[in-house]
């Protein structure tokens, strides 16, 4: 199968599988797993934070951040397109009694400062208490521009709000912008990073922030059933994702560029060049028929999500040859 649906489909590398088989482990609920401990310590250092927590997923890490910063009846400001608003089943509301206050995402993925400021509630008996702002980076594959961070951070500081960054694909942003990842993370209070997307670990995301914050998040994770035992088996794969995989992400970005060039040969598809910055490419089907295209490709062992626009994601387990096969099959579909 050639799979362009997401970078979550990446298989663990041979090196990861070997490390996982041989990992020293212990009961992580007691803080006894040396492989988890090492991952958390080295991640905090590498990513520029005081402490880190290894979590099952990005969804869990985001939920822990929300529930650590906000209590019952509080609210957070986020983008209308934010994963932690749109794609997490309203978990913050369901499990944390926390209200989302979404604002429009600008075309560059940011939340306009004026919109954020207007959404902050005054201290008034009618309103929920605004506690935090969440910004996603990358969002739809677009990195947030570096000059945005001091501005949003200043605004949050002025209003005593926590600033959280959903950095599921944060390394893609750092690679694209050619900056040290710590030059991004130093502007936010807390952030997440997915190890199981382009970084190819089988399972796991990191939540990062102050020691105090991570202590709170660890308590909540246990309450949510996320206390895990010999999790070092997973942390061993995640460690390689963190140490080795960021340096190859530029290959995914280059492959997405190649995919764009090839897809532009198909006149029935319109590639969204503005949003193509990293490893995610959107293409609008001029004739509709995205679902039919999905079914046609599936018969040829090629997987896409036939939404409109179609999203193609490049990753470790696809290459130029996969792109050529994809484009040939799409041309066959439209012939």
Ligand X SMILES: *Cc1c(COP(=O)(O)O)cnc(C)c1O
CB of 106 to ligand X, least distance (A): 17
Residue nearest to ligand X (CB): 58
Looking at the Cβ atoms of 208 and 269, the one nearer to ligand X is 208
Give residues 240-269 in contact with ligand X (rule: CB under 6 A).
none
Candidates 51-59, 258-266, 307-315, 323-331: pick the segment binding ligand X (CB under 6 A): 51-59
**What DSSP state is assigned to residue 139?**
B
Neighbouring C-beta atoms of residue 177, cutoff 10 Å: 19
Give the residue from 81, 87, 130, 84 showing the smallest Cα distance to 106. 81
**Contact call for residue 100 and ligand X (CB under 6 A):** no
Residue 136 tokens, joined:
């996603």
Q: Which of 75, 136, 189, 252 binds ligand X (CB under 6 A)?
A: 136
Q: Classify 151 as helix, strand or coil.
A: helix
Q: How many residues bind ligand X (CB under 6 A)?
A: 10
CB 306 within 8 A of CB 317: no
Minimum separation from the CB atom of position 83 to ligand X (A): 3
Task: Give, as ranges, the residues between 181 and 210 that touch ligand X (CB under 6 A).
Answer: 194, 205
The reply to whether 168 sits near ligand X by the rule CB under 6 A is: yes
* Window of 11-19, 54-62, 271-279, 304-312 that interacts with ligand X by CB under 6 A: 54-62
Closest approach of Cβ 87 to ligand X, in Å? 7
> Which residue, among 333, 253, 248, has the nearest Cα to 295 in the 3D structure?
333
Question: From the CB of 334, what's the least distance to ligand X, in Å?
Answer: 30
Question: What SS3 state is found at 101?
Answer: strand
Q: Which stretch binds ligand X (CB under 6 A): 26-34, 57-65, 122-130, 319-327?
A: 57-65
Print burial letters for 56-91: b (CB count within 10 Å at least 16), e (below 16).
bbbbbbbbbbbbbbbeeebbbbbbeebbbbeebeeb
Binder to ligand X among 166, 185, 189, 322 (CB under 6 A)?
Answer: 166
If DSSP codes are grouped into helix, strand and coil, which group holds residue 122? coil
Could you check whether the bond before residue 71 is cis, i.e. omega within 30 degrees of 0? no
Q: Are 153 and 188 in contact, with CB atoms under 8 Å apart? A: yes
CB nearer ligand X, residue 58 or residue 143: 58
Residues that bind ligand X (CB under 6 A): 57-59, 62, 83, 136, 166, 168, 194, 205
């Amino acid at each position: 199968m050639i799979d362009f649906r997401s970078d979550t489909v990446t298989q663990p590398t041979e090196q990861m599988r070997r490390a996982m088989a041989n990992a020293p482990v212990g009961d992580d609920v007691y803080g006894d797993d040396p492989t988890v401990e090492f991952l958390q310590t080295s991640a905090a250092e590498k990513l520029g934070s005081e402490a880190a927590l290894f979590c099952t997923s990005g969804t869990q890490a985001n939920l822990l951040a929300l529930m650590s910063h906000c209590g019952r009846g509080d609210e957070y400001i986020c983008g209308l397109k934010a994963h932690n608003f749109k794609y997490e089943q309203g978990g913050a509301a369901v499990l944390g009694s926390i209200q989302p206050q979404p604002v429009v995402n600008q075309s560059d993925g940011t939340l306009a400062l004026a919109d954020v400021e207007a959404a902050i509630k005054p201290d008034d008996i009618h309103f929920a208490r605004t506690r935090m702002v969440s910004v996603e980076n990358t969002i739809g594959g677009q990195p947030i521009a570096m000059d945005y961070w001091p501005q949003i951070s200043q605004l949050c500081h002025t209003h005593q709000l926590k600033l959280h960054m959903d950095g599921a694909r944060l390394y893609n942003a750092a690679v694209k912008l050619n900056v040290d990842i710590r030059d991004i993370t130093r502007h936010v209070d807390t952030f997440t990073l997915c190890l199981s997307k382009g970084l190819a670990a089988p399972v796991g995301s990191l939540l990062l922030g102050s020691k105090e914050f991570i202590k709170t998040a660890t308590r909540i994770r246990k309450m949510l059933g996320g206390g895990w035992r010999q999790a070092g088996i997973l942390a061993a794969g995640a460690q390689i994702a963190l140490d080795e995989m960021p340096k190859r992400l530029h290959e995914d970005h280059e492959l997405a560029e190649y995919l764009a060039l090839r897809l532009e040969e198909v006149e029935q598809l319109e590639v969204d060049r503005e949003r193509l910055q990293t490893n995610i490419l959107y293409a609008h089907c001029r004739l509709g028929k995205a679902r039919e295209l999905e079914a046609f490709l599936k018969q040829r062992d090629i997987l896409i999500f036939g939404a409109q626009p179609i999203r193609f994601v490049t990753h470790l387990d696809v290459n130029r040859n996969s792109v050529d096969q994809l484009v040939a099959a799409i041309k066959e579909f439209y012939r």
